[in-house]
Amino acid sequence: MDIYWLDNPICRNPQLVGGKAANLGRLAATHPVPPGFCLTATQAAERIPPVLARRLGAAYNQLGERCGHPAPRVAVRSSAVDEDGQLASFAGQHESYLNVVGAEAVAHAVEHCLASARSDRARVYRHTHGLSERTEIAVLVQQLVLADASAVVFSVDPRTGEREHIVINATWGLGESLVGGTVTPDLYIVSKRDLRIIARQVSEKTVMTVAYSAGTREVAIPRLLRAQPALEDAQIVALARLARSLEVGEGWPVDLECAYQRRQLYLLQCRPITTLTGLATPIAVD
């Protein structure tokens, strides 16, 4: 395995860094992607060799210099070579670890990500989609965005296939509660043509995921915030504009994971929409 920074052109090759990292690598120079580096793809392994662990520690320290913090909080995510493609996104099939702090902890998280390629869940998913049960897997290490609010954005309505609608789900805190389905998120529909918000449903959001010690935990949302929209209108429009731009640039409908920290928008993931079924219940149009 080699280590390359996300803004290195090598990190645009999905055969070397997997689909997830390659998609972000292509966008890192022109979009608000958090800094990070990638360990190139290899067969699933129980342990990483000591020489690689030392290089990983050096890269982690360098990331700290880029972030302005000696012990940066990072997200460690797997990135399989056949992940985030046109036919299979592998969303939730491989392990991710948030709020990992320290070189030793990062090395352990990398090992767990590599091992997750052999999980029963991943093997069943591969079999269902007609993919090889053996694959190479890379690992992406990025600065963790301590999100005030998180969003999942679809440039095509995944419930109906309507191509003129952008659909946004949003909630308070980190995105784990959102993608894990433990919170009922806010739902917004935006016109792709003129970026007008044409429908909204603000939900009663009871829990959110926050950084805690070296990891994350789900906590109750303060009562005053539960029925408040997680996003302002300007933030909704900015997310829709990003999705529209990426759909044009990538050439396919996109599924984005984004975060706002101190009103700054970050792009955490960009992949093709591989299914058009099931996301949210119908809502009334304003």
Question: What is d(CA 271, CA 284) in angstroms, rounded to the nearest whole number?
Answer: 28
Q: Which part of the chain is CATH 3.30.470.20? A: 149-272
Say if residue 34's pLDDT is above 50.
yes
Encode pLDDT of 258-284 as tens digits. Answer: 999 999 999 999 999 877 544 444 444
Pairing mode, strands 216-220 and 254-261? unpaired
Q: Which part of the chain is CATH 3.30.1490.20? A: 3-143
pLDDT reported for residue 101: 96
Fold that domain 3-143 belongs to in CATH? Dna Ligase; domain 1 (3.30.1490)
Question: What is d(CA 101, CA 216) in angstroms, rounded to the nearest whole number?
Answer: 12
Question: What is d(CA 282, CA 159) in angstroms, rounded to the nearest whole number?
Answer: 9
- Amino acid present at 42: T
- Burial group, residue 185, by CB count within 10 angstroms (0-12, 13-18, 19+): buried
pTM (predicted TM-score):
0.87
Q: Are 112 and 82 in contact (CB under 8 A)?
A: no
pLDDT reported for residue 87: 44
Encode pLDDT of 231-244 as tens digits. Answer: 999 999 999 999 99
Total length of the chain: 286
One CATH from 3.30.300.30, 3.40.50.11060, 3.30.470.20, 3.40.50.1820 for 149-272:
3.30.470.20
Element of type H or E holding 235 = helix 233-250
Question: What is d(CA 24, CA 32) in angstroms, rounded to the nearest whole number?
Answer: 10
Question: What is d(CA 246, CA 234) in angstroms, rounded to the nearest whole number?
Answer: 18
When comparing pLDDT for 78 and 230, which is higher? 230
Question: What is d(CA 245, CA 128) in angstroms, rounded to the nearest whole number?
Answer: 32
